[in-house]
Amino acid sequence: MNVTRKTEGIVLRSLKYQDNHLIATVYTEAYGMQSFLIKGYHSPRARRRHSFFQPLSIIDLVYFYKETQQLQKVNESHLSLLLHSVQSHPVKLSIGLAMMEIFYDTVKEEEENRPLYHFLRSCILQLEQSERRLVQVFIFFLLHLTKFLGFFPLDKSQQAPRVTFDLKQGCLLPAEDDQPAMRLLRDFLHSSLHTCQQISFDARSKRQLLRLLFSYYQHYVPGFKYPQTLRVFAEIFD
Protein backbone atom coordinates (compact mmCIF):
# COMPACT_ATOMS: atom_id res chain seq x y z
CA MET A 1 0.00 0.00 0.00
CA ASN A 2 1.37 3.40 -1.03
CA VAL A 3 0.36 6.42 1.05
CA THR A 4 1.55 9.96 1.75
CA ARG A 5 2.59 10.44 5.36
CA LYS A 6 3.20 13.60 7.36
CA THR A 7 4.90 13.58 10.76
CA GLU A 8 7.50 15.17 12.99
CA GLY A 9 10.66 13.18 13.60
CA ILE A 10 14.02 13.14 15.38
CA VAL A 11 17.11 12.24 13.37
CA LEU A 12 19.05 9.51 15.17
CA ARG A 13 21.84 9.03 12.65
CA SER A 14 22.79 9.68 9.05
CA LEU A 15 25.29 7.81 6.91
CA LYS A 16 26.87 8.80 3.63
CA TYR A 17 25.67 6.62 0.78
CA GLN A 18 27.55 6.44 -2.51
CA ASP A 19 29.02 9.80 -3.54
CA ASN A 20 26.39 12.34 -2.61
CA HIS A 21 23.44 10.65 -0.90
CA LEU A 22 22.51 10.08 2.73
CA ILE A 23 20.68 7.29 4.51
CA ALA A 24 18.97 8.81 7.55
CA THR A 25 17.32 6.94 10.41
CA VAL A 26 14.53 8.99 11.97
CA TYR A 27 12.34 8.18 14.96
CA THR A 28 8.97 9.64 13.97
CA GLU A 29 6.12 10.73 16.18
CA ALA A 30 3.44 8.95 14.15
CA TYR A 31 5.20 5.93 12.63
CA GLY A 32 8.11 4.96 14.88
CA MET A 33 11.48 4.11 13.35
CA GLN A 34 11.82 4.95 9.66
CA SER A 35 14.77 5.06 7.24
CA PHE A 36 15.06 7.51 4.36
CA LEU A 37 17.19 7.92 1.28
CA ILE A 38 18.16 11.57 0.92
CA LYS A 39 19.34 12.13 -2.63
CA GLY A 40 22.36 14.12 -3.81
CA TYR A 41 23.21 17.73 -3.08
CA HIS A 42 24.01 19.17 -6.49
CA SER A 43 21.48 21.97 -6.06
CA PRO A 44 21.31 24.52 -3.20
CA ARG A 45 17.88 23.17 -2.24
CA ALA A 46 19.19 19.62 -1.99
CA ARG A 47 22.20 20.72 0.07
CA ARG A 48 19.86 22.54 2.44
CA ARG A 49 17.76 19.39 2.81
CA HIS A 50 20.88 17.40 3.68
CA SER A 51 21.61 19.82 6.52
CA PHE A 52 18.24 18.98 8.10
CA PHE A 53 19.16 15.32 8.44
CA GLN A 54 21.94 15.66 11.00
CA PRO A 55 21.62 13.69 14.27
CA LEU A 56 19.59 15.50 16.97
CA SER A 57 17.63 17.52 14.39
CA ILE A 58 13.87 17.75 15.00
CA ILE A 59 12.19 17.96 11.61
CA ASP A 60 8.81 17.95 9.90
CA LEU A 61 8.52 15.38 7.13
CA VAL A 62 6.21 14.59 4.25
CA TYR A 63 7.08 11.34 2.50
CA PHE A 64 5.56 8.77 0.19
CA TYR A 65 5.48 5.45 2.03
CA LYS A 66 5.90 2.22 0.09
CA GLU A 67 5.49 -0.91 2.16
CA THR A 68 7.82 -2.88 -0.11
CA GLN A 69 10.72 -0.43 0.31
CA GLN A 70 13.12 -0.31 3.25
CA LEU A 71 14.26 3.22 2.38
CA GLN A 72 11.50 5.78 1.97
CA LYS A 73 11.82 8.92 -0.16
CA VAL A 74 11.21 12.35 1.35
CA ASN A 75 8.92 14.73 -0.53
CA GLU A 76 9.23 17.71 1.83
CA SER A 77 11.26 18.46 4.93
CA HIS A 78 12.03 21.42 7.15
CA LEU A 79 13.21 22.04 10.69
CA SER A 80 10.47 21.86 13.28
CA LEU A 81 12.72 23.42 15.93
CA LEU A 82 16.02 25.21 15.50
CA LEU A 83 18.50 23.90 18.07
CA HIS A 84 21.42 26.27 18.55
CA SER A 85 23.59 25.18 21.48
CA VAL A 86 23.10 21.41 21.35
CA GLN A 87 24.57 21.35 17.84
CA SER A 88 27.52 23.63 18.62
CA HIS A 89 28.44 23.12 22.29
CA PRO A 90 30.98 20.24 22.33
CA VAL A 91 29.81 18.69 25.61
CA LYS A 92 26.11 19.00 24.75
CA LEU A 93 26.77 17.58 21.30
CA SER A 94 28.70 14.63 22.72
CA ILE A 95 25.96 13.82 25.23
CA GLY A 96 23.23 14.32 22.64
CA LEU A 97 24.92 12.04 20.11
CA ALA A 98 25.37 9.39 22.82
CA MET A 99 21.64 9.61 23.55
CA MET A 100 20.87 9.13 19.84
CA GLU A 101 23.26 6.17 19.64
CA ILE A 102 21.74 4.45 22.68
CA PHE A 103 18.21 5.08 21.44
CA TYR A 104 19.05 3.70 17.98
CA ASP A 105 20.68 0.59 19.47
CA THR A 106 17.83 -0.22 21.85
CA VAL A 107 14.56 0.91 20.21
CA LYS A 108 13.50 -1.04 17.13
CA GLU A 109 9.73 -0.58 16.92
CA GLU A 110 8.27 0.68 13.65
CA GLU A 111 4.94 1.73 15.06
CA GLU A 112 3.60 4.79 16.82
CA ASN A 113 4.70 5.32 20.41
CA ARG A 114 4.03 8.95 21.19
CA PRO A 115 5.01 8.80 24.89
CA LEU A 116 8.43 7.44 23.90
CA TYR A 117 8.78 10.03 21.15
CA HIS A 118 7.97 12.90 23.49
CA PHE A 119 10.32 11.51 26.14
CA LEU A 120 13.21 11.65 23.66
CA ARG A 121 12.16 15.07 22.37
CA SER A 122 11.92 16.48 25.91
CA CYS A 123 15.39 15.19 26.81
CA ILE A 124 16.88 16.89 23.75
CA LEU A 125 15.14 20.18 24.58
CA GLN A 126 16.27 19.99 28.22
CA LEU A 127 19.84 19.52 27.03
CA GLU A 128 19.43 22.45 24.63
CA GLN A 129 18.10 24.78 27.34
CA SER A 130 20.51 23.82 30.13
CA GLU A 131 23.69 25.73 30.89
CA ARG A 132 25.11 23.43 33.57
CA ARG A 133 24.72 19.98 35.12
CA LEU A 134 24.39 18.43 31.70
CA VAL A 135 25.41 14.93 32.76
CA GLN A 136 22.32 14.81 35.00
CA VAL A 137 20.17 14.99 31.86
CA PHE A 138 22.11 12.09 30.35
CA ILE A 139 21.76 9.94 33.48
CA PHE A 140 18.03 10.69 33.63
CA PHE A 141 17.68 9.72 29.96
CA LEU A 142 19.65 6.51 30.41
CA LEU A 143 17.66 5.42 33.46
CA HIS A 144 14.16 6.45 32.43
CA LEU A 145 14.47 5.08 28.89
CA THR A 146 14.31 1.67 30.56
CA LYS A 147 10.62 2.33 31.32
CA PHE A 148 9.94 1.98 27.61
CA LEU A 149 12.37 -0.91 27.16
CA GLY A 150 10.71 -3.00 29.86
CA PHE A 151 13.33 -3.13 32.62
CA PHE A 152 12.82 0.00 34.72
CA PRO A 153 14.30 -0.68 38.19
CA LEU A 154 12.02 -1.20 41.18
CA ASP A 155 12.64 0.51 44.50
CA LYS A 156 12.28 -2.04 47.31
CA SER A 157 14.61 -0.17 49.63
CA GLN A 158 11.73 1.10 51.80
CA GLN A 159 13.56 4.43 52.17
CA ALA A 160 16.42 2.72 53.98
CA PRO A 161 19.41 5.03 54.61
CA ARG A 162 21.74 2.47 52.96
CA VAL A 163 20.83 0.71 49.73
CA THR A 164 22.26 -1.69 47.19
CA PHE A 165 21.17 -2.65 43.68
CA ASP A 166 20.44 -6.19 42.55
CA LEU A 167 21.24 -6.01 38.84
CA LYS A 168 19.68 -9.35 37.90
CA GLN A 169 16.41 -8.62 39.70
CA GLY A 170 16.51 -4.97 38.69
CA CYS A 171 15.69 -3.55 42.11
CA LEU A 172 17.05 -1.45 44.95
CA LEU A 173 17.23 -3.19 48.31
CA PRO A 174 18.20 -2.20 51.87
CA ALA A 175 21.88 -2.75 52.61
CA GLU A 176 24.25 -2.78 55.56
CA ASP A 177 27.08 -0.91 53.84
CA ASP A 178 26.82 2.66 52.62
CA GLN A 179 27.00 2.89 48.81
CA PRO A 180 26.61 6.53 47.69
CA ALA A 181 26.17 5.58 44.02
CA MET A 182 23.19 3.39 44.93
CA ARG A 183 21.55 6.23 46.84
CA LEU A 184 22.22 8.38 43.80
CA LEU A 185 20.44 5.82 41.64
CA ARG A 186 17.43 6.03 43.95
CA ASP A 187 17.42 9.83 43.69
CA PHE A 188 17.37 9.68 39.88
CA LEU A 189 14.77 6.92 39.95
CA HIS A 190 12.32 9.25 41.69
CA SER A 191 13.28 12.44 39.85
CA SER A 192 11.69 14.14 36.86
CA LEU A 193 13.41 15.71 33.87
CA HIS A 194 12.95 19.10 35.53
CA THR A 195 14.21 18.08 38.99
CA CYS A 196 17.07 15.73 38.08
CA GLN A 197 19.49 18.65 37.68
CA GLN A 198 19.05 19.47 41.36
CA ILE A 199 20.84 16.21 42.22
CA SER A 200 24.47 16.68 43.25
CA PHE A 201 27.25 14.10 43.34
CA ASP A 202 31.00 13.75 43.36
CA ALA A 203 33.06 12.42 40.46
CA ARG A 204 33.53 8.96 41.99
CA SER A 205 29.81 8.38 42.57
CA LYS A 206 29.06 9.62 39.06
CA ARG A 207 31.50 7.14 37.49
CA GLN A 208 30.16 4.29 39.61
CA LEU A 209 26.57 5.09 38.69
CA LEU A 210 27.33 5.30 34.98
CA ARG A 211 29.23 2.00 35.06
CA LEU A 212 26.29 0.42 36.88
CA LEU A 213 23.76 1.71 34.34
CA PHE A 214 25.83 0.54 31.37
CA SER A 215 26.20 -2.89 33.01
CA TYR A 216 22.45 -2.92 33.58
CA TYR A 217 21.83 -2.27 29.88
CA GLN A 218 24.31 -4.97 28.90
CA HIS A 219 22.43 -7.44 31.09
CA TYR A 220 19.08 -6.78 29.40
CA VAL A 221 20.01 -5.66 25.87
CA PRO A 222 21.98 -8.28 23.90
CA GLY A 223 25.05 -6.78 22.28
CA PHE A 224 24.74 -3.40 24.01
CA LYS A 225 28.01 -1.46 23.87
CA TYR A 226 29.40 1.64 25.50
CA PRO A 227 28.49 4.58 23.21
CA GLN A 228 31.30 5.35 20.77
CA THR A 229 30.53 9.06 21.02
CA LEU A 230 31.44 9.10 24.70
CA ARG A 231 34.77 7.42 24.04
CA VAL A 232 35.80 10.57 22.19
CA PHE A 233 34.71 12.83 25.06
CA ALA A 234 35.54 10.51 27.96
CA GLU A 235 36.65 13.46 30.07
CA ILE A 236 33.00 14.42 30.52
CA PHE A 237 32.68 11.56 32.96
CA ASP A 238 36.00 11.97 34.78
Mean pLDDT computed over every residue of the chain: 90
| Residues of each domain in the chain carrying CATH 2.40.50.140 | 2-81
Q: Are 220 and 149 in contact (CB under 8 A)?
A: yes
Spatial CB neighbours of 75, under 8 Å, sequence gap ≥ 6: 4, 62, 63, 64
pLDDT value of position 82: 87
Give the CATH superfamily of 2-81. Nucleic acid-binding proteins (2.40.50.140)
CB atoms within 10 A of CB 167: 14
* pLDDT reported for residue 48: 61
pLDDT in tens, 47-69: 566 678 999 999 999 998 988 88
User: Which pLDDT belongs to residue 80?
Assistant: 92
Better-predicted residue by pLDDT, 118 or 19: 118
Reduced 3-state DSSP string for 165-208: EECCCCEEEECCCCCHHHHHHHHHHCCCCCCHHHCCCCHHHHHH
pLDDT of 44: 61
What is the pLDDT, as a whole number, of residue 184? 96
Average pLDDT over residues 97-125: 95
Q: Is 193 a residue whose pLDDT tops 90?
A: yes
Mean pLDDT over 75-98 rounds to 91
Kindly indicate the confidence band of residue 188, based on its pLDDT and cuts at 50, 70 and 90. Answer: very high
Confidence at residue 213, expressed as pLDDT on a 0 to 100 scale: 95
- pLDDT band for 229, please (50, 70, 90 cuts): confident
pLDDT, tens digit, 9 for 90 and up, residues 130-177: 999 999 999 999 999 999 999 999 999 988 999 999 999 999 999 998
Range with lowest mean pLDDT among 4-13, 86-95, 111-120, 187-196: 86-95
**Predicted confidence (pLDDT) at residue 18 exceeds the cutoff of 90:** no
Instruction: Say what the pTM is.
Output: 0.91
